[in-house]
Structure 1
Amino acid sequence: MNDAVPPAQAPQQAAPPDHDPAAPAPLGVPRIPTGDAEVDARLERLADADHLDTDGHVEVYEDVHRGLRDALTALDARPGPPAPPSPHRQGS
Protein backbone atom coordinates (compact mmCIF):
# COMPACT_ATOMS: atom_id res chain seq x y z
CA MET A 1 0.00 0.00 0.00
CA ASN A 2 1.32 3.42 -0.94
CA ASP A 3 0.35 6.29 1.39
CA ALA A 4 2.24 8.88 -0.61
CA VAL A 5 0.32 12.03 -1.42
CA PRO A 6 0.70 13.22 -4.99
CA PRO A 7 2.49 16.59 -5.28
CA ALA A 8 0.21 19.60 -5.42
CA GLN A 9 -0.34 20.86 -8.92
CA ALA A 10 -0.13 24.54 -9.72
CA PRO A 11 -3.53 25.97 -10.59
CA GLN A 12 -4.06 26.28 -14.31
CA GLN A 13 -4.13 29.82 -15.55
CA ALA A 14 -6.82 30.83 -17.96
CA ALA A 15 -5.63 31.85 -21.39
CA PRO A 16 -5.59 35.63 -21.80
CA PRO A 17 -8.61 36.88 -23.75
CA ASP A 18 -8.12 37.96 -27.36
CA HIS A 19 -9.40 41.39 -26.40
CA ASP A 20 -10.05 43.38 -23.29
CA PRO A 21 -13.65 42.55 -22.31
CA ALA A 22 -13.98 46.01 -20.78
CA ALA A 23 -12.89 47.71 -24.01
CA PRO A 24 -15.48 49.23 -26.35
CA ALA A 25 -16.88 46.71 -28.82
CA PRO A 26 -19.01 47.21 -31.91
CA LEU A 27 -22.71 46.70 -31.30
CA GLY A 28 -23.15 45.04 -34.67
CA VAL A 29 -26.29 47.01 -35.54
CA PRO A 30 -26.70 46.96 -39.33
CA ARG A 31 -27.15 50.28 -41.08
CA ILE A 32 -29.21 49.91 -44.23
CA PRO A 33 -28.57 52.54 -46.92
CA THR A 34 -31.48 54.90 -47.51
CA GLY A 35 -30.44 56.04 -50.98
CA ASP A 36 -29.89 59.62 -49.78
CA ALA A 37 -26.11 60.25 -49.66
CA GLU A 38 -26.34 62.87 -46.90
CA VAL A 39 -28.52 60.69 -44.66
CA ASP A 40 -26.41 57.59 -45.35
CA ALA A 41 -23.24 59.48 -44.38
CA ARG A 42 -24.85 60.51 -41.08
CA LEU A 43 -25.96 56.97 -40.34
CA GLU A 44 -22.45 55.66 -41.08
CA ARG A 45 -21.14 58.16 -38.53
CA LEU A 46 -22.89 56.04 -35.90
CA ALA A 47 -20.11 53.46 -36.41
CA ASP A 48 -17.75 55.92 -34.70
CA ALA A 49 -19.53 55.18 -31.42
CA ASP A 50 -18.50 51.52 -31.71
CA HIS A 51 -14.94 52.40 -30.77
CA LEU A 52 -15.66 54.87 -27.97
CA ASP A 53 -16.37 54.45 -24.30
CA THR A 54 -20.01 54.96 -23.40
CA ASP A 55 -19.47 58.56 -22.32
CA GLY A 56 -18.23 59.34 -25.85
CA HIS A 57 -21.43 58.09 -27.49
CA VAL A 58 -23.42 61.22 -26.64
CA GLU A 59 -21.27 63.43 -28.85
CA VAL A 60 -21.65 61.08 -31.82
CA TYR A 61 -25.40 60.66 -31.30
CA GLU A 62 -25.94 64.41 -30.99
CA ASP A 63 -23.90 65.05 -34.14
CA VAL A 64 -25.88 62.45 -36.10
CA HIS A 65 -29.19 63.78 -34.74
CA ARG A 66 -28.25 67.35 -35.68
CA GLY A 67 -27.28 66.24 -39.20
CA LEU A 68 -30.48 64.26 -39.74
CA ARG A 69 -32.56 67.14 -38.41
CA ASP A 70 -30.80 69.51 -40.84
CA ALA A 71 -31.48 67.10 -43.72
CA LEU A 72 -35.19 67.03 -42.84
CA THR A 73 -35.29 70.82 -42.50
CA ALA A 74 -33.71 71.13 -45.95
CA LEU A 75 -36.55 69.06 -47.39
CA ASP A 76 -39.02 71.66 -46.11
CA ALA A 77 -36.99 74.48 -47.63
CA ARG A 78 -36.97 73.04 -51.16
CA PRO A 79 -39.35 74.81 -53.50
CA GLY A 80 -42.26 72.67 -54.48
CA PRO A 81 -45.04 73.13 -56.98
CA PRO A 82 -47.09 76.27 -56.51
CA ALA A 83 -50.13 75.91 -54.31
CA PRO A 84 -53.46 75.92 -56.12
CA PRO A 85 -55.40 79.16 -55.79
CA SER A 86 -57.80 79.31 -52.88
CA PRO A 87 -61.46 79.26 -53.98
CA HIS A 88 -62.31 82.02 -51.48
CA ARG A 89 -59.95 84.54 -53.07
CA GLN A 90 -61.20 84.24 -56.62
CA GLY A 91 -63.49 87.03 -57.63
CA SER A 92 -62.33 89.59 -55.02
Structure 2
Amino acid sequence: MSDWMPEPGTRPEAAPDPAAPGAADPGPAPSHEPAPPAPLGVPRTPTGYAGVDARLERLADADHLPADGHGEVYEDVHRGLRDELTALDARPAPVSDAQ
Protein backbone atom coordinates (compact mmCIF):
# COMPACT_ATOMS: atom_id res chain seq x y z
CA MET A 1 0.00 0.00 0.00
CA SER A 2 1.27 3.50 -0.80
CA ASP A 3 1.51 6.39 1.69
CA TRP A 4 1.15 8.99 -1.07
CA MET A 5 -1.86 11.26 -0.80
CA PRO A 6 -2.85 14.13 -3.12
CA GLU A 7 -2.55 17.68 -1.84
CA PRO A 8 -5.69 18.85 -0.03
CA GLY A 9 -8.11 20.54 -2.45
CA THR A 10 -6.70 18.74 -5.52
CA ARG A 11 -7.66 15.56 -7.24
CA PRO A 12 -5.56 13.18 -9.30
CA GLU A 13 -5.50 13.67 -13.06
CA ALA A 14 -7.85 11.36 -14.90
CA ALA A 15 -6.95 9.82 -18.23
CA PRO A 16 -8.69 11.60 -21.12
CA ASP A 17 -11.74 9.86 -22.52
CA PRO A 18 -10.89 8.93 -26.15
CA ALA A 19 -14.60 9.14 -27.06
CA ALA A 20 -14.98 12.68 -25.67
CA PRO A 21 -15.47 15.49 -28.18
CA GLY A 22 -12.18 17.22 -28.96
CA ALA A 23 -10.11 14.21 -27.89
CA ALA A 24 -6.87 13.87 -29.87
CA ASP A 25 -7.15 11.46 -32.80
CA PRO A 26 -4.54 8.74 -32.27
CA GLY A 27 -4.29 8.23 -36.04
CA PRO A 28 -4.30 4.93 -37.87
CA ALA A 29 -3.38 1.79 -35.99
CA PRO A 30 0.24 0.72 -36.58
CA SER A 31 0.72 -2.04 -39.13
CA HIS A 32 2.40 -5.19 -37.92
CA GLU A 33 3.20 -6.29 -41.45
CA PRO A 34 6.90 -6.15 -42.42
CA ALA A 35 7.93 -3.43 -44.81
CA PRO A 36 8.57 -4.58 -48.36
CA PRO A 37 12.21 -5.05 -49.43
CA ALA A 38 13.91 -1.83 -50.50
CA PRO A 39 17.36 -1.19 -51.96
CA LEU A 40 19.86 0.09 -49.41
CA GLY A 41 21.52 2.35 -51.96
CA VAL A 42 25.04 1.27 -51.02
CA PRO A 43 27.34 2.04 -53.96
CA ARG A 44 29.59 -0.73 -55.23
CA THR A 45 32.81 0.63 -56.68
CA PRO A 46 34.41 -1.58 -59.36
CA THR A 47 37.76 -3.03 -58.32
CA GLY A 48 39.08 -3.75 -61.80
CA TYR A 49 39.10 -7.52 -61.19
CA ALA A 50 36.26 -9.05 -63.21
CA GLY A 51 35.69 -11.97 -60.84
CA VAL A 52 35.58 -9.77 -57.75
CA ASP A 53 33.37 -7.18 -59.45
CA ALA A 54 30.89 -9.88 -60.50
CA ARG A 55 30.68 -11.11 -56.89
CA LEU A 56 30.14 -7.59 -55.58
CA GLU A 57 27.36 -7.00 -58.12
CA ARG A 58 25.68 -10.15 -56.80
CA LEU A 59 25.12 -8.23 -53.55
CA ALA A 60 22.44 -6.21 -55.39
CA ASP A 61 20.29 -9.35 -55.40
CA ALA A 62 19.80 -8.94 -51.65
CA ASP A 63 18.10 -5.57 -52.25
CA HIS A 64 15.00 -7.33 -53.58
CA LEU A 65 14.75 -10.05 -50.92
CA PRO A 66 13.28 -9.99 -47.43
CA ALA A 67 15.90 -9.96 -44.68
CA ASP A 68 15.68 -13.71 -44.12
CA GLY A 69 16.86 -14.24 -47.72
CA HIS A 70 19.98 -12.08 -47.40
CA GLY A 71 22.07 -14.79 -45.75
CA GLU A 72 22.03 -17.00 -48.84
CA VAL A 73 23.24 -14.14 -51.04
CA TYR A 74 25.95 -13.11 -48.54
CA GLU A 75 27.17 -16.70 -48.22
CA ASP A 76 27.34 -17.04 -52.00
CA VAL A 77 29.27 -13.78 -52.35
CA HIS A 78 31.62 -14.73 -49.50
CA ARG A 79 32.28 -18.14 -51.06
CA GLY A 80 32.95 -16.53 -54.46
CA LEU A 81 35.32 -13.91 -53.04
CA ARG A 82 37.17 -16.60 -51.10
CA ASP A 83 37.55 -18.58 -54.35
CA GLU A 84 38.89 -15.48 -56.11
CA LEU A 85 41.47 -14.94 -53.36
CA THR A 86 42.46 -18.60 -53.44
CA ALA A 87 43.00 -18.35 -57.20
CA LEU A 88 45.30 -15.35 -56.67
CA ASP A 89 47.38 -17.39 -54.23
CA ALA A 90 47.68 -20.38 -56.57
CA ARG A 91 51.10 -20.45 -58.13
CA PRO A 92 51.48 -21.49 -61.71
CA ALA A 93 53.19 -24.79 -62.30
CA PRO A 94 56.94 -24.43 -62.96
CA VAL A 95 57.88 -24.40 -66.61
CA SER A 96 59.89 -27.47 -67.56
CA ASP A 97 63.22 -26.90 -69.31
CA ALA A 98 63.05 -30.32 -70.94
CA GLN A 99 62.17 -30.28 -74.61
Provide the TM-score with structure 1 as the length reference.
0.63
Match of 1:38 among 33, 51, 70: 51
Q: In the comparison of the two structures, how many residue pairs are matched?
A: 66
What corresponds to 2:4 in structure 1? none
5+ unaligned residues in a row in structure 1: which ranges?
1-13, 15-20, 82-92
How many Å separate the matches in 2 of 1:79 and 1:63? 26
How many Å separate the matches in 2 of 1:47 and 1:80? 37
How many Å separate the matches in 2 of 1:27 and 1:80? 44
Counting only pairs closer than 5 Å after superposition, residues 1-92 of structure 1 correspond to structure 2 as 22-79=35-92
| Cα distance, 1:80 vs structure 2 | 8.6
5+ unaligned residues in a row in structure 2: which ranges?
1-27, 29-33, 95-99
After TM superposition, which residue ranges in structure 1, 4 or more long, deviate above 2 angstroms?
78-81
Amino acid at match of 2:37: P
RMSD: 2.7
Provide the TM-score with structure 2 as the length reference.
0.59
More helix, by proportion:
1
How many Å separate the matches in 2 of 1:80 and 1:69? 21
**Which is bigger in relative contact order (C-alpha 8 A, separation at least 6)?**
1
| Cα distance, 1:34 vs structure 2 | 0.2
Q: Secondary structure of 1:40's partner?
A: helix
